[in-house]
Amino acid sequence: MAATIYDSEITKSDKYSILLPTYNERENLPIIIWLIMKYLDNSGYDFEVIIIDDGSPDGTLDVAKQLQNIYGSSKILLRPREKKLGLGTAYVHGMKHATGNFIIIMDSDLSHHPKFIPQFIELQQEQDYDLVSGTRYKDGGGVYGWDFKRKLISRGANFITQLLLRPGASDLTGSFRLYKKDVLQKLIDSCVSKGYVFQMEMIIRARQFEFTIGEVPITFVDRVYGESKLGGSEIVQFAKALLYLFATT
Amino acid sequence: MTKLLEWVSVLSAMFAVWYSLIGGYVKHPLIEKNINLILISPLIFIALFGLYAVTVVLYRVFTFNNCEEAAKELQNEIAEARKDLLDKGLKF
Ligand SMILES: Nc1nc2c(ncn2[C@@H]2O[C@H](COP(=O)(O)OP(=O)(O)OP(=O)(O)O)[C@@H](O)[C@H]2O)c(=O)[nH]1
Ligand SMILES: [Mg+2]
């Protein structure tokens, strides 16, 4: 995207808003916050963490409040919602309250490690990328805790998607990414799918708008606490989204 | 142009070439000699591509990096974090 004349002045006051959607992440939330502080507090980057909890019955919000007391309400912002309204709208909701000019999206289940955030930021700055995506599929990246079947599904789906859509990014369903705020806004506005395939549509739309995409290899450690929900319905959802994007973009 | 249209146009161009060869629209002794091979060439092409796809996917499955190190590091950091947060007064 064309750079505006203000870009060079704004970089001095870059701010990163980290959106953390949570649903039943009582165990994970304190750890992820602690890790974010560990890797960002001394980095000199200006940042805030926005926790969007959807009325988790396990009391995630209560833990979030304690964390806010510990780390301060300028670093930790709580923007809860009454009930579970889904991941896509959680991002929209969080972004409305974000004061940064960059948005970082990540899962709060510890599968996305905050140690990669400084790498995302550095890469973005080097090339002025519109978005930087974490990737499990490139050298240096990888997964932990996946059996043969899950790897096969993942690699197979990725192969077919690369073949049909040529997206210009290697990890389409991952959701550990850094966006320029206006870029994310535009992508969200143009996306129609719901659920987890939303991540895939976002990156395909990014290609459509000719946004520039950088990639950082990440190690993805499957959630330690809580349950995973990967099932047959996800595969069907994925296939539908793939065909839809194949025919329309 | 959508990806679907791109595929349709490339595939129909290939089909047109193939059809003109088997339909006898282009005459050449080489074509007549190899007509059987040309007839089944789409099948050969699909089979080879299938083989390529299976090989690539399986290769990537078996070389998919297992992040043992990262998992261990995370376990240590979780322990450290819990301790530090307890000290800071967090009730888990
Ligand atoms: N606010 C909000 N957060 C959600 C909702 N659904 C999921 N999340 C959070 O979004 C992130 C990703 O969800 P996950 O359940 O980990 O989904 P996944 O990574 O595709 O699947 P697994 O990790 O295998 O379970 C986590 O941080 C969840 O807590 C929701 O409806 N509302
Ligand atoms: Mg997860």
Where are the domains positioned within chain A?
2-248
In our burial notation (b when 16+ CB lie closer than 10 A, e otherwise), range A83-100 reads eeeebbebbbbbbeebeb
Q: Is residue B71 part of a domain?
A: no
Nearest-by-Cβ selection for B67 from A142, A151, A245:
A142
A52 close to ligand 1 (CB < 6 Angstrom): yes
- DSSP class of residue B90? -
Higher-confidence residue of A169 and A5: namely A169
Q: Is residue B15 part of a domain?
A: yes
Among protein residues, the one whose CA lies closest to atom 19 of ligand 1: A107
Instruction: Enter the tokens of residue A37.
Output: 């502080």
| Torsion angle of the four alpha carbons B2, B4, B7, B12, in this order, in degrees rounded to the nearest 10 | -110
Answer yes or no: are the C-beta atoms of B28 and A190 closer than 8 Å.
no
**Which of A18, A23, A198, A237 is the best mutation target for the ligand 1 pocket, counting ligand atoms within 8 Å of the beta carbon and taking the most?**
A23
pLDDT tens-digit profile of A38-54? 999 989 999 999 999 99
Crossing angle of the two packed helices A117-127 and A28-40, in degrees rounded to 10:
50
Mean pLDDT over A154-163 rounds to 95
In a domain, B90, yes or no: no
Higher pLDDT, A11 or A158: A158
Nearest residue of B to residue A145, measured between CA atoms: B66
Q: CB–CB of A30 and B85 under 8 A? A: yes
Q: Which chain B positions have a beta carbon within 8 Å of A166's beta carbon?
A: 3
Determine contact, residues A80/A48, Cβ cutoff 8 Å: no
Amino acid letter, residue B70: A
Alpha-carbon distance of A172 to A201, in angstroms, equals 8
pTM: 0.91
- Ligand 1 centroid to B58 CA: how many Å? 29
- Write down the mean pLDDT value for chain A: 92
- Nearest CA to A231 out of A150, A110, A159 is that of A150
Share of chain A above pLDDT 70, in %: 92
Q: What is the CATH number of domain A2-248?
A: 3.90.550.10
Query: Parallel, antiparallel, or unpaired for β A131-135 and A46-53?
Result: unpaired
Q: For residue A182, is pLDDT > 60? A: yes
Does residue B89 sit within a domain?
no
Distance of CA A47 from the midpoint of ligand 1 (Å): 22
Cα–ligand 2 centroid distance for A201 (angstroms): 18
Mean pLDDT computed over A190-214: 91
> DSSP states of chain A as a string?
-PPPTTHHHHGGG-EEEEEEEESS-TTHHHHHHHHHHHHHTTT--EEEEEEEEB--TT-HHHHHHHHHHHH-TTTEEE--BSS---HHHHHHHHHHT--SSEEEE--SSSSS-GGGHHHHHHHHHHHT-SEEEEESSSTT-EEES--HHHHHHHHHHHHHHHHHH--S-S-SS---EEEEHHHHHHHHHH----GGGHHHHHHHHHHHTT--EEEEE-EEEPPSSS-----HHHHHHHHHHHHHHHHH-
Please say if the pLDDT value at position A135 is more than 70.
yes
Helix (H) or strand (E) holding B1, with range, is none
Residue of A32, A82, A87, A200 to mutate, ligand 1, most atoms within 8 A of C-beta: A87
Contact between chains at A143 and B91 (C-beta distance less than 8 A): no
Ligand 1 atom showing the smallest separation from residue A227 Cα = 25
pLDDT at site A234: 84
CA of residue A226 to ligand 1 center, whole Å = 10
Q: How confident is the model at residue A6 (pLDDT cuts 50, 70, 90)?
A: low
Tell me the mean pLDDT in the region A11-28.
Answer: 92
Question: Whose atoms come closest to the Cα of A111: which ligand?
Answer: 2
Q: Is the pLDDT at A9 greater than 70, yes or no? A: no
A114 pLDDT band, cuts 50/70/90, is very high
Give residue A180's pLDDT: 98
pLDDT in tens, A58-80: 999 999 999 999 999 999 999 99
Contact (CB<8Å) A246/B4? yes
> What percent of chain A has a predicted confidence (pLDDT) above 90?
80
Between B7 and A173, the more confident residue is B7
Tokens of A3: 């750079």
d(CA B89, CA B85): 6
Is 90 exceeded by the pLDDT of residue A229?
Answer: no
Stated as kind and residue range, the H or E segment containing B41 is helix B35-62
CB-CB neighbours of A186 under 10 Å = 18
Beta bridge partners of A215: A133
Q: How crowded is residue A242: how many other Cβ atoms within 10 Å of its Cβ?
A: 19
Cβ(A21) – ligand 1 distance below 6 Å: yes
How many other C-beta atoms are found inside a 10 Å radius of the C-beta of residue A214? 18
- Whether the pLDDT of residue A55 is over 90: the answer is yes
How many domains does the structure of chain B reveal? 1
Dist. CA A243–CA A235, nearest whole Å: 12
Rounded Cα distance, A208 and A190, in Å = 11
CA closest to A116 among chain B residues: B70
Query: In which domain, by residue range, is B23 found?
Result: 3-63
Give nearest CA residue, ligand 1 atom 22: A228
For residue B4, pLDDT beyond 70: yes
pLDDT at position A4 over 80: no
A211 CA → ligand 2 middle, Å: 26
What pLDDT was estimated at residue A12?
A: 66
What does pLDDT average to over chain B? 94
Residue A79 dihedral angles phi and psi, to the nearest 5°: -130, 65
Chain A interface disruption, residue of B11, B52, B61, B76, most A CBs within 10 A: B61
Ligand 1 in reach of A196 Cβ (< 6 A): yes
Tell me: the pLDDT tens digits for B11-67?
999 999 999 999 888 888 988 899 999 999 999 999 999 999 999 999 999 999 999
Residues A28/A33/A35/A39 CA torsion (nearest 10 deg): 160
Residue B68 lies in a domain: no
